[in-house]
């Protein structure tokens, strides 16, 4: 139903003092939208300011009384705004304007500029308010100290300066008021209170539902395919085949892994599909863990329609045209009477919400295509890459959400010996991408 | 999502002056929960009061200084709450208390009673605030005048008395404040503005999404199956067959019907048009789309129920080849899942996003789809019980026009003869029990 949301371009403006999670939220929204098929991009005003004014700005730069600095900062804001509009004019569907935007005057300026230059655009504001000192301090430590603004400074110095910076902003902060006549959502204390005002349209409605499910509890997410199935062995697609002996052994080893990993805790949420191979795997795990699982049709493997039960070779022989089409565009190609990866993404969306919402560790035992979609969402892969992502059998992918990304670990489990091999993905990659925002 | 955490009980209590849509919201939520598979029921304070104190209560009865009446009303409210608690104890999942509950004292008492009765019950308070006198007048006109309280009174007198009643309540109205320590949702301006305070949990966040999309705008929903398909002719299930000749004729006549139904260009462009990704639906929709010059959205979510291994077979063949499945399906058509296919329950789950979208829309909606799918959609808006879904009558070559209103749903069936284009119309109004003069004694929900 993405088409419903594409009827109008959208700008999402963030509002809030520093260290209130604006970048975190805008990145989450951006991730969600891209995954759903809306081309989105975050324009971080801080990055523009760093490029233009340099990174040696201490808190005095942010003093509202500092006329020169204020002028420079306004210019940066407008530059970001222009880039945002160009993006929407060209290939973008949604732009996220990630900045403090803490005064009515600034918000008014943005609304007016957008009206002038791009009147067809919908604007939606997300304000993050937080009064919990501990949360703010944690935010600063997690995300600001690695910030280019503080290269070469000690973490105490940096924290102090940043807190002073916050005070500068606080002097002139005007939370969104209803008489500004704008559509907004205010998130207060990480969702303890939410105010929604003048929501319009399909996409805004979806975003509000999405935002209500976010939190910052760092709970791990475990993804695993079912153990090796009989169809896997003969390279057939589809079907509802059972596990092989090897697959069954993996299931048991997987159970042992979780018992150790979760340290005997039963406070987890486990999801699986309705297909035999996944159910059997889950049954083995659950017996050892002593928990129950939710069996959801939404997690069933991609439906290969008329190709069900054929090997890839047979498909190439019987349906050469389809075979070619799929090779060229594995993402959108829909098996006749079956599904495409895009259909799967759509179907799996509700699971994403469920996982986001959960404050308990989540285990998903499912299938290759399904996990490719889920993994891509959490690990921020581009949608076109999804059909090629590497999700092999007999491996657990452990994702732990950190500040702006997910830390990934892969645990290869040998079904015969039960031996684990732990692979740490390079998370340095992800930190670098924050700077590239 | 069915199956997620059924163990927790939920109590929802409304708050607000009369004619603010509390009953409307309660009923919609109740419908939604039952739809999702939760045992849900509404307990209406007003009904208890009517039953016990009679229906000849004019606005003086609601004067906060009228001590005797106050006691009577308070007793009735207690009874409603007790019944709700009993319901939850006897296997209910969600109890909805529909009452004004406008004082802190009342709310705190209810909250405390609920928390004492159940360990770990989740409570949610929904306050409906409206200061738009037009909306209030409209509410009164639509729902109160036919209320049993006014069955012997003409509509002008009824309106005046009702407005006086509201004034009585206003004297003691205390909006929910944070220090009451309640989980609450405040909805203002018919859902355009919402405040959410300490609302956590799966169902609770679903409730907020649902309420956000509610409105009382009376827009029509048109449901039609595709024209007769080849498989229909052969009595086969499943497949992706094309239209038969008769089916193509229906598509033409359907397009004519809609062309007349939406006379102006503006009206045509307003239509929200959905169809499935199956040939027979696409071909039918294309004919309509061309005539009206609009574009349908093809949604896989509207594809017909997947019949798995029975795809392409007739019912006789199924009975022969899979006799035990055939029997199972006869006994439990709702829950029976075709091997490698779907059940009606799966369908209900599958179409939820479409239901949200239709709820949200304030423009006419047109859906050209399939029998099982339309049974589910129809049942939701027409408020049928879930077990009825698999046997609802949704024939070929018929447009069903549903116009959901405050407490009921208007239905009109337009049967179109594909060959002659002749139209015959069947209209049916679901009588809301409060409208009929012969009184039905039922406190609990409808």
The listed range with the strongest mean pLDDT (A232-246, B133-147, B185-199) is A232-246
Of the candidates B9, B94, B10, B82, the residue with the CA atom closest to the CA atom of residue B45: B82
Residue B261 has pLDDT above 70, yes or no: yes
Q: Which residues contact B33 (CB under 8 A, 6 or more apart)?
A: B40, B93, B94, B203
Of the candidates A278, A240, A299, A268, the residue with the CA atom closest to the CA atom of residue A363: A268
Find the mean pLDDT for residues A413-432: 74
B325 vs B60, residue with greater confidence: B325
Find the mean pLDDT for residues B384-401: 94
pLDDT value for B432: 41
Q: Do the chains contact at A294 and B3, CB–CB below 8 Å?
A: yes
Q: Which residues contact B439 (CB under 8 A, 6 or more apart)?
A: B55, B148
ipTM of this predicted complex? 0.86
Q: Cβ–Cβ contacts within 10 Å for residue B239, how many?
A: 20
Residue A197 distance to chain B (closest CA, Å): 4
Give the largest Cα separation in chain B, rounded: 75
Residue A11 has pLDDT above 90, yes or no: yes
- Annotated binding residue at B283? no
Q: Do the chains contact at B197 and A193, CB–CB below 8 Å?
A: yes
pLDDT band (50, 70, 90) for residue B56: low
Q: Cβ–Cβ contacts within 10 Å for residue B149, how many?
A: 24
Residue B215 has pLDDT above 90, yes or no: no
Q: Cβ–Cβ contacts within 10 Å for residue A312, how many?
A: 13
pLDDT value for B442: 37
Supply B27's token pair: 């009923």
pLDDT value for B434: 33
pLDDT value for B438: 33
DSSP string, B223-289: EEEPSPBHHHHHTB-S----B-HHHHHHHHHHHHHHHHHS-SHHHHHH-EEEE-SSHHHHHHHHHHH
Sign, CA dihedral A189-A193-A198-A203, equals positive
- Annotated binding residue at A34? no
With residue B344 as reference, give the H or E element that holds it: helix B344-350
Q: Could you say which of B193, B300, B306 has the minimum Cβ distance to residue A197? A: B193
Mean pLDDT of chain A: 90
Q: What is the DSSP letter of A311?
A: B
Domains and CATH numbers, chain B: 10-216 (3.40.50.300), 221-432 (3.40.50.1240)
Find the mean pLDDT for residues A271-276: 97
pLDDT value for B270: 92
Give residue ranges of B with CB < 8 Å to any A CB: 1, 3-4, 192-199, 202, 205, 208-209, 212-213, 240, 277, 297, 299-301, 306, 337, 339-340, 342, 346, 349-350, 353-354, 357, 360
Q: Is A235 a catalytic site residue?
A: no
Of the candidates A407, A399, A390, A404, the residue with the CA atom closest to the CA atom of residue A433: A404
Mean pLDDT of chain B: 88
Instruction: For chain B, say whether A339 makes contact (Cβ under 8 Å).
Output: yes
Q: Which of A149-153, A272-276, B193-197 has the lowest mean pLDDT?
A: A149-153
pLDDT-above-90 percentage for chain A: 68
pLDDT value for A403: 75
Supply B318's token pair: 């199924």
pLDDT value for B429: 53
pLDDT band (50, 70, 90) for residue B5: low
Residue A235 has pLDDT above 60, yes or no: yes
Give the C-alpha separation, A411 to A419, whole Å.
Answer: 10
């Amino acid at each position: 139903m993405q088409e419903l949301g594409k009827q109008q371009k959208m700008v999402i403006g963030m509002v809030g003092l520093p260290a209130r999670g604006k970048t975190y939220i805008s990145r989450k929204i951006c991730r969600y939208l891209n995954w759903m098929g809306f081309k989105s991009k975050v324009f971080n005003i801080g990055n523009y300011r760093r490029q233009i004014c340099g990174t040696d700005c201490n808190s005095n730069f942010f003093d509202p009384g500092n006329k020169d600095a204020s002028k420079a900062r306004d210019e940066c804001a407008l530059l970001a705004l222009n880039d945002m509009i160009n993006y929407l004019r060209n290939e973008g569907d949604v732009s996220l304007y990630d900045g403090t935007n803490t005064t009515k005057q600034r918000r008014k300026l943005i609304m007016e500029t957008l009206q002038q230059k791009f009147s067809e655009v919908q604007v939606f504001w997300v304000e993050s308010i937080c009064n919990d000192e501990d949360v703010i301090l944690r935010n600063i430590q997690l995300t600001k100290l690695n910030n280019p603004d503080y290269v070469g400074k000690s973490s105490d110095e940096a924290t102090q300066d940043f807190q002073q910076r916050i005070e500068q902003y606080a002097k002139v902060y005007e939370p969104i008021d209803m008489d500004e006549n704008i559509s907004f959502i205010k998130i207060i204390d990480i969702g303890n209170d939410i105010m929604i005002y003048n929501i319009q349209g399909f996409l805004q409605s979806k975003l509000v539902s999405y935002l209500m499910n976010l939190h910052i509890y760092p709970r791990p997410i475990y993804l695993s395919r079912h153990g090796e199935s009989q169809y896997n062995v003969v390279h057939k697609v589809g079907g509802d085949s059972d596990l092989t002996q090897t697959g069954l052994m993996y299931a048991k080893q997987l159970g042992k892994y979780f018992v150790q990993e979760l340290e005997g805790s039963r406070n987890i949420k486990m999801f699986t599909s309705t297909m035999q191979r996944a159910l059997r795997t889950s049954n083995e795990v659950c017996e050892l863990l002593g928990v129950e699982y939710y069996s959801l049709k939404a997690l069933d493997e991609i439906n290969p329609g008329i190709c069900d039960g054929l090997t890839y070779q047979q498909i190439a022989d019987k349906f050469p045209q389809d075979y070619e089409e799929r090779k060229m565009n594995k993402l959108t190609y829909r098996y006749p009477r079956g599904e495409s990866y895009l259909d799967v993404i759509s179907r799996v969306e509700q699971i994403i919400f469920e996982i986001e919402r959960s404050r308990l560790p989540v285990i998903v035992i499912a299938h290759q295509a399904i996990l490719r979609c889920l993994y891509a969402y959490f690990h921020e892969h581009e949608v076109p890459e999804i059909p090629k992502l590497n999700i092999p059998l007999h491996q657990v992918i452990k994702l732990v959400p950190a500040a702006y990304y997910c830390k990934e670990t892969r645990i290869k489990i040998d079904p015969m010996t039960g031996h684990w091999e732990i692979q740490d993905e390079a998370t340095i990659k992800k930190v670098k991408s924050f700077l590239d925002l | 999502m069915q199956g997620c955490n059924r163990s927790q009980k939920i109590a929802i209590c409304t708050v607000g002056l009369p004619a603010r849509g509390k009953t409307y919201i309660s009923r919609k939520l109740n419908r939604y929960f039952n739809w999702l598979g939760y045992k849900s029921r509404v307990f209406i304070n007003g009904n208890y009061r009517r039953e016990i104190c009679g229906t000849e209560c004019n606005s003086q009865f609601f004067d906060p200084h009228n001590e005797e009446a106050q006691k009577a009303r308070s007793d009735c409210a207690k009874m409603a709450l007790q019944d709700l608690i009993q319901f939850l104890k006897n296997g209910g999942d969600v109890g909805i208390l529909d009452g004004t509950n406008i004082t802190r004292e009342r709310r705190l008492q209810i909250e405390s009673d609920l928390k004492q009765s159940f360990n770990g019950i989740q409570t949610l308070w929904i306050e409906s605030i409206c200061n738009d006198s037009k909306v209030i007048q409209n509410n009164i006109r639509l729902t109160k005048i036919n209320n049993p309280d006014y069955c012997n009174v003409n509509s002008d007198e009824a309106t005046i008395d009702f407005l006086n009643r509201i004034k009585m309540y206003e004297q003691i109205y205390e909006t929910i404040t944070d220090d009451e320590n309640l989980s609450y949702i405040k909805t203002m301006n018919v859902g355009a503005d919402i405040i959410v305070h300490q609302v956590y949990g799966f169902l609770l966040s679903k409730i907020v999404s649902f309420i956000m999309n509610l409105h009382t705008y009376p827009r029509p929903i048109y449901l039609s199956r595709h024209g007769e398909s080849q498989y229909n002719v052969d009595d086969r299930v499943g497949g992706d067959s094309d239209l038969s000749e008769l089916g193509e004729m229906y598509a033409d006549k359907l397009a004519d019907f809609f062309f007349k139904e939406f006379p102006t260009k503006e009206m045509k462009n307003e239509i929200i048009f959905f169809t499935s990704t199956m040939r027979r639906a696409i071909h039918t929709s294309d004919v309509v789309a061309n005539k009206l010059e609009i574009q349908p959205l093809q949604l896989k979510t509207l594809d017909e129920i997947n019949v798995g291994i029975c795809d392409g077979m007739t019912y006789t063949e199924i009975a022969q080849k899979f006799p035990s499945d055939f029997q199972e399906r006869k006994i439990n058509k709702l829950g029976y899942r075709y091997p490698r296919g779907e059940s009606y329950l799966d369908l209900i789950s599958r179409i939820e996003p479409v239901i949200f979208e239709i709820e949200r829309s304030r423009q006419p909606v047109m859906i050209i789809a399939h029998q099982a799918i339309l049974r589910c959609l129809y049942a939701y808006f027409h408020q049928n019980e879930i077990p009825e879904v698999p046997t609802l009558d949704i024939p070929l070559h018929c447009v069903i026009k549903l116009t959901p209103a405050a407490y009921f749903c208007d239905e009109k069936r337009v049967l179109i003869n594909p060959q002659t284009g002749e139209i015959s119309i069947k209209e049916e109004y679901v009588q809301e029990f409060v409208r009929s003069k012969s009184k039905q004694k039922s406190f609990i929900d409808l």
